[in-house]
Amino acid sequence: GDSWGIFTFLCAALCNLPALPALNCTEELGAGQSIQKTYDLTRYLEHQLRTLAGTYLNYLGPPFNEPDFNPPRLARAERVPSATVDLDLWRGLTDNARLAANYRAYSRLLCYLRALDGQAGTAELRHRLGHFCSSLQGLVLSIAGVMSSLGYPLPAGPAGPPMPSGTPVAPNDFLKKMDDFWLLKELQTWLWRSAKDFNRLKKKVPPAVVTLRLEARGF
Amino acid sequence: DSHTQYERVGADVTMKCGSMDWDAAVTWTANGTDIDESHLNGSYLILKNVDLTQSGQYSCYEGSSWHLKYQTCLRVGTPPKEPVLMCRSNNYPKGFYCSWHLPTPTYIPNSFNISVIHGTREMVCEKDAFPKNRCHVRYLQLFSTVKYKVTLTVTNALGKNSTTLTFDEVAIVKPDPPESVVAKPVPNNPRRLEVSWQNPSSWPDPESFPLKFFLRYRPLILDQWQHVELSDGTSHTITDAYAGKEYIIQVAAKDNDIGTWSDWSVAVHATPWTEEPKHLTTEAQITETTSASTSSFMPPPTTKICDKGAVVGSGAVAVCWTAGLVLAAYGVLFI
């Protein structure tokens, strides 16, 4: 079926990267379990990010590592997908829209994060970043899994490739660091938001519903 | 005409008698009481190193005619110290509130002005009717990356002071404690206590923003608490309570993912179910009636072994049972 196709595509598309996805493409988790797994992943990543961000901001140096640092948002920072959303709008999101927003956001955040990889200071920091990227990739796959098990199409546009061409490189060192600062901030905020997104999904999608859907699609 | 004058504690105050000349003959009163001439410099009243007790109504009368020439209300106080400000979201995701107070009193009226800035936008903090030093902000957006900056300025006639708080939306989330905590013994289970509670009523949306809970309990006689963390549900059964001991139990709440734990709930007390030694009483009645009708051999039934204080756990209950049976047996034999 369609889901099978999506799984294989994802595995193929992302298999050329150093960290192979651990997902067994033949597994068919009930959506309820997948949502729980995705929720757990966001919590794990949020926890990981706390340590990683602390280390990275220290590497960037002051003022980026100061707790009160609260710079204004520059226009260039708008490229990074924002988790900020109007309350009523967020409440009213359909399951599909909710999942799609998460999928798109983390796909792009993963791209940007990968770009940090080669430039970071110490080998240890690069190693930590690499590990985090692998985990984040796992999250993207997990969300894709939930979407396909619920019969939703994955948002258009590839998940894997590098930054879209024509992206202006930061003109100076300080602005480059600002970009990094905002990237980490958005990532952190997305992880806070995703926990709430997946909480809502957990309540709305009981496993029984999924079984019926899978049967209807001839699984 | 009269007006109010504010002065700092410890200051030197000179009061002029309105438009009267320096060498005019005047009498000053403080709250109706004449002031001694030693405090006067001509028609000026000199108060050195004023203290709080010198606050009051000061009046100046022309010497001979006793016309009231000038009146002022003196209020002695201090400029404000840096205020204490606290902001908290106990109703996430609706918004948050900020409350404040002065660490030391100024003894004169103060006015407070609060500003809440989110990025480039200034937000409205609506003053609460009660308590007075409190206002609340409604969130327009959720999951914001930009911090909130709250500045409180306190001003009075003698000076001003301010303080600022900067925080992330999720950092100030702290629910109110759980409500209606109830602990009950479980019949026929001497080591169990059933605890139940409710979400705090201020938490607006427990469906989308579920709370998790932390329960702590200990027998009154011990200092060490036992803890249980519960990720869902609003009840829990304690299964390792010491039989017969009174327990103190409290519950705290936290958003599942963000913020900090609430304060502990109001403490409730409960004692696990213990068995009543009912059957012993029945046996004793039988032995009493038999001894009355037959002989005086039957020793009076004693409850000494089965004193309430001695009943600790089911082992002692068994002893009571046996004692009762033995007595009953003797009674029956001697019918």
Tell me what pLDDT residue B237 has: 96
3-state secondary structure at position A13: helix
Tally of structural domains, chain A: 1
CA of A100, closest CA in chain B: separation in Å? 17
Domain membership of residue A15 (yes or no) is no
What is the DSSP annotation of A162-187? -SPTTPPPPSSHHHHHHHHHHHHHHH
Domain membership of residue A216 (yes or no) is no
Q: Where in chain B is the domain with CATH 2.60.40.10?
A: 3-77, 84-167, 179-270
Give me the mean pLDDT over the A195-207 stretch.
Answer: 82
CA of A199, closest CA in chain B: separation in Å? 7
Which of B120, B141, B139 minimizes the C-alpha distance to A189?
B141
Domain membership of residue A196 (yes or no) is yes
Q: At residue A130, does pLDDT exceed 60?
A: yes
Measured between CB atoms, which of A72, A86, A188 is closest to B120?
A: A72
Q: At residue A30, does pLDDT exceed 90?
A: no
Question: Of A75-84, A161-170, A204-213, B305-314, which has the strongest mean pLDDT?
Answer: A75-84
Q: By residue range, what is the domain housing residue A88?
A: 29-163+170-204
Measured between CB atoms, which of A68, A90, A192 is closest to B258?
A: A192
Domain membership of residue A10 (yes or no) is no
Q: Do A73 and B142 touch (CB under 8 A)?
A: no
**CATH architecture type of domain B3-77:** Sandwich (2.60)
Tell me what pLDDT residue B38 has: 87
Instruction: Label residue B26 left, alpha or beta by phi (over 0 means left) and psi (-120 to 50 means alpha).
Output: beta
Q: How many CB atoms lie within 10 A of CB A180?
A: 22
Q: What whole-number distance in Å separates Cα of residue B123 and Cα of residue B120? A: 10
CB-side neighbour CA atoms (13 Å) of B267? 11
Residues of B in contact with A192 (CB under 8 A): 143, 170, 257-258
**pLDDT single digits (tens) A37-56:** 999 999 999 999 999 999 99
Which tokens is A109 given? 């955040």
Q: What whole-number distance in Å separates Cα of residue A71 and Cα of residue A136? A: 26
Measured between CB atoms, which of A90, A182, A195 is closest to B142?
A: A90
Residues of A in contact with B257 (CB under 8 A): 43, 46, 192, 195-196, 199
CA of A36, closest CA in chain B: separation in Å? 14
Which of A30, A42, A36 minimizes the C-alpha distance to A149?
A30
* B247 phi, psi to nearest 5 deg: -110, 150
Return the axis-axis angle of helices A31-60 and A123-149, rounded to nearest 10°. Answer: 160
Q: What percent of chain A has pLDDT over 70?
A: 70
Q: Do A193 and B141 touch (CB under 8 A)?
A: no
Chain B contact probe: residue of A43, A79, A84, A89 with most B CBs at under 10 A: A84
Q: What is the DSSP secondary structure assignment for residue B43, as one 8-state letter?
A: T
Tell me what pLDDT residue B39 has: 87
Which tokens is B108 given? 């004169």
Tell me what pLDDT residue A124 has: 85
A93 CB near a chain B CB, below 8 Å? no
3-state secondary structure at position B153: strand
Q: Do B258 and A195 touch (CB under 8 A)?
A: yes
- Cβ–Cβ under 8 Å, residues B172 and B93: no
Domain membership of residue A98 (yes or no) is yes
Q: Do A84 and B141 touch (CB under 8 A)?
A: yes
Q: Do B119 and A72 touch (CB under 8 A)?
A: yes
Q: At residue A211, does pLDDT exceed 50?
A: no
CA of B8, closest CA in chain A: separation in Å? 36
* A161 phi, psi to nearest 5 deg: -65, 165
B49 Cβ partners below 8 Å, 6+ apart? B10, B11, B12
Q: What whole-number distance in Å separates Cα of residue B276 and Cα of residue A35? A: 51
A194 Cβ partners below 8 Å, 6+ apart? A38, A39, A42, A102
Q: What whole-number distance in Å separates Cα of residue B36 and Cα of residue B333? A: 106
A195 CB near a chain B CB, below 8 Å? yes
Q: Which class would CATH give B84-167? A: mainly beta
A135 CB near a chain B CB, below 8 Å? no
Domain membership of residue A60 (yes or no) is yes
Q: Do B257 and A43 touch (CB under 8 A)?
A: yes
Domain membership of residue A100 (yes or no) is yes
- Confidence tier at A24 by pLDDT (50, 70, 90): very low
Tell me what pLDDT residue A118 has: 61
Q: What whole-number distance in Å separates Cα of residue B112 and Cα of residue B133? A: 8
Tell me what pLDDT residue B305 has: 39
Measured between CB atoms, which of B141, B145, B207 is closest to A185?
A: B145
Which tokens is B88 given? 């908290």
Residues of A in contact with B139 (CB under 8 A): 87
What is the DSSP annotation of B85-104? EEEEBSSTTSEEEEEEE-SS
Tell me what pLDDT residue A145 has: 93
Tell me what pLDDT residue B129 has: 87
Give the largest Cα separation in chain B, rounded. Answer: 120
Q: Do A193 and B144 touch (CB under 8 A)?
A: no
- Cβ–Cβ under 8 Å, residues A9 and A158: no
- Confidence tier at A206 by pLDDT (50, 70, 90): low
CA of B117, closest CA in chain A: separation in Å? 12
Residues of B in contact with A190 (CB under 8 A): 143
3-state secondary structure at position B6: strand
Q: What is the DSSP secondary structure assignment for residue B89, as one 8-state letter?
A: B
Tell me what pLDDT residue A52 has: 92
Measured between CB atoms, which of B119, B207, B209 is closest to A73?
A: B119
The CATH number given to whatever domain includes residue A181 is 1.20.1250.10
Name the residue of chain A whose CA is nearest to B121's CA. A72
- Alpha carbon B73 to chain centroid, angstroms: 38
**pLDDT single digits (tens) A139-159:** 999 999 999 998 999 887 644
Tell me what pLDDT residue A121 has: 75
Q: Which residues of chain B have pLDDT under 50?
A: 289-320, 324
The domain made up of B179-270 has a fold known as Immunoglobulin-like (2.60.40)
Query: Helices in chain A by DSSP H: which ranges?
Result: 2-14, 31-60, 87-92, 95-117, 123-149, 173-204, 207-216
Q: At residue A177, does pLDDT exceed 90?
A: no
Domain membership of residue A217 (yes or no) is no
Q: What is the DSSP secondary structure assignment for residue B256, as one 8-state letter?
A: S
CA of B156, closest CA in chain A: separation in Å? 29
Residue with the bigger pLDDT between B291 and A126: it is A126
- Confidence tier at A209 by pLDDT (50, 70, 90): very low
Measured between CB atoms, which of B143, B147, B208 is closest to A193?
A: B143
Q: What whole-number distance in Å separates Cα of residue B43 and Cα of residue B25? A: 6
A91 CB near a chain B CB, below 8 Å? yes
Q: What whole-number distance in Å separates Cα of residue B139 and Cα of residue A88? A: 11
Measured between CB atoms, which of B139, B140, B149 is closest to A70?
A: B149
pTM of the model: 0.74
- Confidence tier at A15 by pLDDT (50, 70, 90): very low
**pLDDT single digits (tens) A53-97:** 999 999 888 899 888 787 877 766 567 788 999 988 999 999 999
The complex scores an ipTM of 0.74
Q: What is the DSSP secondary structure assignment for residue A77, as one 8-state letter?
A: G
Pairing of strands B2-8, B68-77: parallel
Structure-token match 């013994």, residue found: B185
Which tokens is B133 given? 């030093």
Which of B127, B175, B120 minimizes the C-alpha distance to B148?
B120
Instruction: Give the number of beta-carbon pairs within 8 Å between A and B.
Output: 62
